[in-house]
Structure 1
Amino acid sequence: MKNVYLLRDAIISPIGFNTRENLLSLRQGISGLKLHKEPQQTPSEYTAGIIEDKLLNENFREIGDPDSYTKLEKMMILAVAGILSEKEALDLDQTGLIISSTKGNIDLLGYESGFDKKRVLLSELGKQIKEFFGFKLEPVIVSNACISGGLALSVAKRLMNAGKFQNAVVVAGDLVSEFVLSGFNSFQALSEGACKPFSKDRNGISLGEAAAGVLLSEKAAENKANVALVAEASANDANHISGPSRTGEGLFKSIQNAFRYSGVKPGQIDYLSAHGTATPYNDEMEAVAFNRCGLEKTPVNSLKGYYGHTLGASALIESIVCKHSLLNGELYQSLNFTASGVSKPLNIIQNYRNQNLEYALKTASGFGGSNLALILKKENNG
């Protein structure tokens, strides 16, 4: 398949309302995770990365009426607005819109929100974004557990390769809702404090909410370095409704297929962006899969210590960070890492540093046995 290029992007999160602000926070080791005490939630105390409603509304007023949209819609619309440049106007009649979310507006269930009950549907979420900007083509909705954000990039690339459109806007987002909190709490999967991916003393995830958007194009931007999506592969090992394969089979197959499709070898990967949720089973599974693929010496980090697990947005946010790591030659600290708590060796990035980078591998895994691998490459066109 032909490569596609990651052009303009935007990240809306507790540590920044654009990509530049987010990258600055990553460089400085600033986390969006905070302790929250809300009696109506389950549990009553939890650590998470949550966007303040007041700040969100202040930013949204520049482009629309905050009262007309749900919190998630505002986050995702801001992400799309951040990548639509007046100087480089897109033909929205011919631009694809790919939307990723695991739960959408599920926070509207059970409450008198003032919004039509249909807004809880993922299709309605797509409709709101489409109509706000005036996209002509019907949005494609991607919802496949926690690989959704990365899978949306894969779906966009495949549709572009099939000739459906030359450009695509990919946007992803999810909230920290009572439904999500109670669900992970029922698994006893929530961390007591800020999560510690791959650490010996890790004890679960921290949740987060964020949105991100990226413009994909078949054409690279001229006279500058670009980052191309050169391969993507997914595999489902169907191990368990929530537990990953203990041998990392699905992730192993995803990575191996991405290598096979691209012709890239394990030794060429300069940076590995892991899923790294900080649950005992996920981190162990990833360590096994990475070692099976010959990636045990590759610098690796998890960004969950900054954002928490943002569900359907996580793999897209982390792919955008991968892009900028390649362009800027930066490796970000795997925040909150203490001492290794997995059975196989990994080269955890413990301090921010600069390094020449050409290839990055982004992986993601999710409930139901879903797994994904993306290979990104820096190309100089100037």
Structure 2
Amino acid sequence: MEHRIATYLGGDAMLTALGSDTQESFRALAEGRCGLHPVGQPCPLEAAGSFAPGLLEALALEGLTPLESALVHCAERAAQESHLDPGGEECALVISTTKGNVSLLEGRTTPPDEAFLYTSACRVARRLGITRPPVVVSNACISGVTALIVARRMILDGECAHVIVAGGDLLSEFVAEGFRSFKSLSPGPCRPYDATPEHGLSLGEAVAAVVLTSDPARAKLPAVWLEGGAVTDDANHISGPSRTGDGLHYAIEGALREAALPRERLSFVNAHGTGTAYNDAMESRALELSGLSGCPVNSLKGALGHTLGASGVVESILAAEELRRGVLLGTAGFERLGTPCPLNVSAESRTLAMRHCLKSASGFGGCNAAIVLGLEQFAGDARRQEAAPRERSCRVTARWELPHTGEPFAQVVRACYHALGAPNMKFFKMDDLAKAAYVAAEELLAGQRLGERYAPTDIAVVLENTSSSLDTDLAHQRIVEQHLPEGCSPAVFVYTLPNVAAGEICIRHHIQGEESFFVTDAEHPVAERYARRLIARGAARAVICGRCEYLAGNYDVRLMLLEAEEEQPEGK
């Protein structure tokens, strides 16, 4: 039988609109309190989840931004609760965020150092005493759940014994005006899965951290395991969720498969639940496809708001608390079901016999993620596994690099596009980062016939860069500062998430396997190593991976195609 390394959830900490620690936030949620209220700063919002006045100021550390200080605070508290020295050789840091210190772009024509996500993460790591290079996941609204999956894989692959996963995003005019351009903000506190005609999401801010560890002595009790996880893309649209729910369904199935857990053993699902009509409808279809329509479901965003890169970390910590306490928190704002497929939702908190739960998330670029958490005492619920599958080796079957001809980027990328001889008018609507990714993938895959050789879920896209989406961030920020009567451009805002470039590749080539985006520097690449491990562990059979960098006309675009070596039959 396979020896399964357990990945435990250790100490945790959080700052939310309802409290300055996990216990305070959980208690407020259990009492039915809502943290969504009118907000004046940093921009007027009719309902948003904001920190208590003075909270960030009280946590301020010299030389760090408010977000960085809050990340250090939560990471230190989580480590202390696990009796963990962050400076130890066996400890790593994974940070999930969508926009980081984006407010520092205000009034700027070039980004300051602190606006670079990896630079910011290094500042946090240094303050914590962590010596390993941090890993930064910027995967839209699934960033937090993806970060937990990445951390688990780091432990399973023997890279480290403990990982501090920290996620955070603060309210900003940048983000608020972007979502307003999509007309997706709720006029009041959002109401996930409800039949209200006033659909929309409520933004929130939060920072949270949790220790993931292989050491049972460092687990928070009662002990909870992170049992499995999966990331997918629905290959449908960069800003609209799939109408069928298949992408999220594949993530759910992948998480259950990795956990070796029958779906009947799930006690509840903590879903994404933004309160927007399309997201909630998609989730209901995905859960029906996954055979989970009758499983109790909740969303915490009606009380906390959508906290972007922090949401997956915050909500996973709270889901673990629900397992420990035997209480399923209610879905704030819910009255009458408004989804096309049935869901088992309640506004009231419920007492349940707890064993395992599923946490899901979805985001721009078509990305989806799901993890399975379980109480240690029910670890035997997992199906017995015989021998562990043999790790697959892989090889590079294609490479392509966007050439440097001495001409401006616009001319280079346009020439590459026209040379493809495959007109796609959508190309001209993309930002420069996505254009670079698009032509690179087209050239890389020319003649490869991946769609004929692999199922859509067997192919993954893993990209990295240093500047995230800062080039388009600056463009969106300039529009925000103009305060135009018509507002901001949704066509610009959607590209302020770097993983959308990977999403464009997935849409073009109908790829529904993992789609992940890392932010790092040239000296600490992540993408190829991560892609090779996906193939080795059987999570993908082919991976498009590499560096896709663009900022202010400067670019570095180098992709490769990795494919699993086919196993030879015995006796050959």
- Normalising by the smaller structure, the TM-score range is over 0.9
* Aligned-residue offset at 1:52: 3.9
The residue correspondences of 1:153-168 to structure 2 (distance < 5 A) are 153-168=148-163
CA drift at 1:46: 2.8
CA distance in 2, matches of 1:241, 1:125: 27
Contact 1:330 1:355 in 2 (8 A): yes
- Establish whether residue 236 from structure 1 lines up as the match of residue 233 from structure 2: yes
Once residues 136 and 314 of structure 2 are traced to their aligned partners in structure 1, the CA distance between those partners, rounded to angstroms, is 17
Structure 1 match to 2:214: 218
- Is 1:258 matched with 2:255? yes
Secondary structure of residue in 1 paired with 2:223 = strand
Partner of 1:279: 276
Aligned residue runs from structure 1 range 43-54, under 5 A: 44-52=44-52, 54=54
Structure 1, residues 4-46: CA drift from partner, whole Å, max 9, x if none?
11010011112111111111111111121111235x73xx443
Matched, 1:189 2:184: yes
Q: Which has the larger radius of gyration?
A: 2
- Contact kept in structure 1, 2:79 and 2:86, CA below 8 Å: no
Does the 8 Å contact 1:75/1:210 carry over to 2? Answer: no
Cross-structure match for 2:32? 29
Amino acid at match of 1:191: S
Distance 1:278 1:335 in 2: 11
Aligned to 2:137: 142
Which 5+ residue runs of structure 1 have no aligned equivalent?
none
Secondary structure, counterpart of 1:15 in structure 2: coil
Matches within 5 A, 1:302-317: 302-317=299-314
Cα distance in 1, alignment partners of residues 82 and 317 from structure 2: 22
Counterpart Cα distance in 1 of 2:52 and 2:298: 27
Deviation at 1:91, TM superposition (A): 5.4
Q: What fraction of aligned residue pairs are identical, expressed as a percent?
A: 39
Which deviations, in whole Å up to 9, do the C-alpha atoms of 1:226-267 show, x marking residues without a partner?
100111011111211110000011101011112222221221
Counterpart-to-counterpart distance in 1, 2:82 and 2:146: 29
The SS at the match of 1:10 is strand
2:285 corresponding residue in structure 1: 288
The residue aligned with 1:323 is: 320
Check 1:8–1:318 CA distance in 2 against 1; reply closer, same or farther (3 A cut).
same
Summarize deviations over 1:139-177 as a string: whole Å, max 9, x none.
000000000001000001111111110011000000111
Give secondary structure in 2 for the equivalent of 1:270.
strand
Match of 2:55 in 1: 55
1:109–1:120 Cα contact (<8 Å) kept: yes
8 Å CA contact 2:192, 2:273 repeated in 1: yes
Partner Cα separation in structure 2 for residue 238 and residue 312 of structure 1:
21
**C-alpha deviation, 1:70, in angstroms:** 1.7
Amino acid at match of 1:164: E
CA distance in 2, matches of 1:111, 1:135: 33
Contact 1:167/1:218, CA 8 A, preserved across alignment: yes
Matched ranges for 1:328-343 at <5 A: 328-343=325-340
CA distance in 2, matches of 1:324, 1:159: 24
SS of residue matched to 2:87? coil
SS at match of 1:261: helix
Does structure 2 retain, via aligned residues, the 8 Å contact 1:97–1:168? yes
Mapped partners of 2:86, 2:203: distance in 1: 36
Normalised by the length of structure 2, the TM-score is 0.63
- 1:179 maps to 2:179: no
Higher helix share: 2
Matches of 1:242 and 1:363, distance apart in 2:
18
**Does 2:122 correspond to 1:127?**
yes
Work out the CA distance in 2 between the residues paired with 1:363 and 1:86.
26
SS of residue matched to 1:229: strand
- 1:96 maps to which residue? 92
Q: Is the 8 A contact 1:93 1:137 kept in 2?
A: no
The answer to whether the 8 Å contact 2:247/2:368 transfers is: yes
Name the structure 2 match of 1:207.
203
- Hey, what does 1:118 align to over in structure 2? 113
Query: For the residues of structure 1 that align with 2:105 and 2:277, how far apart are their CA atoms?
Result: 31
SS at match of 1:380: helix
Give, in whole Å, the separation in 1 of the partners of 2:346 and 2:307.
21
Residue 84 of structure 1: how far off its partner (Å): 2.3
Structure 2: 5+ residue runs without aligned partners? 379-572
Q: Please give the secondary structure, in 2, of the residue aligned with 1:375.
A: strand
2:96/2:310 contact within 8 Å kept: yes
How far apart, in 1, do the equivalents of 2:206 and 2:353 lie? 29
* Partner SS for 1:69: coil
